[in-house]
Amino acid sequence: MEIVRTVQALRAQSEDARATGRRVALVPTMGALHDGHLALVALARQRAELVIVSIFVNPTQFGPSEDLASYPRTLDADLARCRAAGVDVVFAPAAAALYPDGAQTFVEVAELAKPLCGGSRPHFFRGVATVVAKLLVAVHPHLAVFGEKDFQQLQVVRRLVRDLLLDVEIVGAPIVREPDGLAMSSRNVHLDPAMRREALALVRALDAAEAAVVAGEREAAVLLETVRKEIGRAPHATIDYADLRDPETLAERATLDGPALLALAVRFPAPRAASGEVRLIDNRVLRCQHDAEDHPR
């Protein structure tokens, strides 16, 4: 496994692979790797001969009061995991490699970045779009793999690629969950045992909404009330958002007349975290029976 620190060295790895007819896959990460990240690597491995993982804590997606300084940096452990997973190249740059002195160019995906996570973190998707664009230009991969847990991010990246005419396939990987159903996240480690149990309210809420759809419910207001009641059973949970949205445009949906994204963001107290709380996200695409038959998961 090669470890590269500069864009020039990264580009050389990709160009050499392309010159010899090998497909190149990129898996962008911010490190603190867990089994969810490794599932992205496994999917990339199935689709390409050269798998590149970037490990970079991107400063432009953190707001002034957010936890950039305390974000977990576990490079040695991450490299060991990458090596065991069969990664070919790890790109682990310093910030200056991607943001040269005086950098003033940013990428924005205007409408898709506004709702959901964009509501409480308006800076976030500009930072994501900018660093992803830089990585895609630097690597020029055939495909890049992103997790569906960050569904809005995935749609922002897909829109970015379409709008900028980038020659890359964006692949969404299914959410990887702990044995009890909690979506895997680097933030889970900040939860104490009591809050870890309360966090299961997210997956219970998704299950309750899906059960209501199976029983025939189609009204967004009813489904979202079901979700809020279920999350409300966790006494320390604070809902950031619980929305039903169009999976492609992220526009609000009043009724379930086709596939709809149920997206959740919930905060829990977490003394281990720098901010004193942890914000967890999760989602599920809800489908009526005829949609499920037409588009099986």
How many residues make up the chain in this entry?
297
Which amino acid is residue 207, in one-letter code? D
Q: Give me the phi and psi of 24, to 5 degrees please.
A: -115, 130
The answer to whether residues 213 and 277 touch, using CB atoms and an 8 Å cutoff, is no
Residue 142 bears catalytic tag: no
Q: What is the pLDDT of residue 174?
A: 97
Q: Measure the CA–CA gap between 216 and 239, rounded to whole angstroms.
A: 26
CATH entry 3.30.1300.10 includes domain 186-294: yes
All structural domains of the chain with their residue ranges: 2-173, 186-294
Q: Would you state the pLDDT for residue 292?
A: 53
Give residue 291's pLDDT. Answer: 59
Q: Which helix (H) or strand (E) holds 236?
A: none
Q: How many CB atoms lie within 10 A of CB 272?
A: 13
Catalytic residue among 37, 123, 236, 295: 37
List of the chain residues with pLDDT < 70: 290-297
- Please say whether the beta carbons of 51 and 76 come within 8 A: no
DSSP for 206-245, please give it.
HHHHHHHHHTT--BHHHHHHHHHHHHHTSTT-EEEEEEEE
| Residue 210: other Cβ atoms inside 10 A | 16
* Token pair recorded at residue 271: 């003394």
Domain 2-173 CATH (choose: 3.90.1150.10, 3.40.50.620, 1.20.210.10, 3.40.50.720):
3.40.50.620
Query: pTM of this prediction?
Result: 0.94
Query: How far apart (Å, rounded) are the C-alpha atoms in residues 32 and 185?
Result: 9
Q: What is the pLDDT of residue 63?
A: 84
Per-residue confidence (pLDDT) for residue 274, from 0 to 100: 77
Which of 255, 252, 258 lies closest to 288, judged by CA?
258
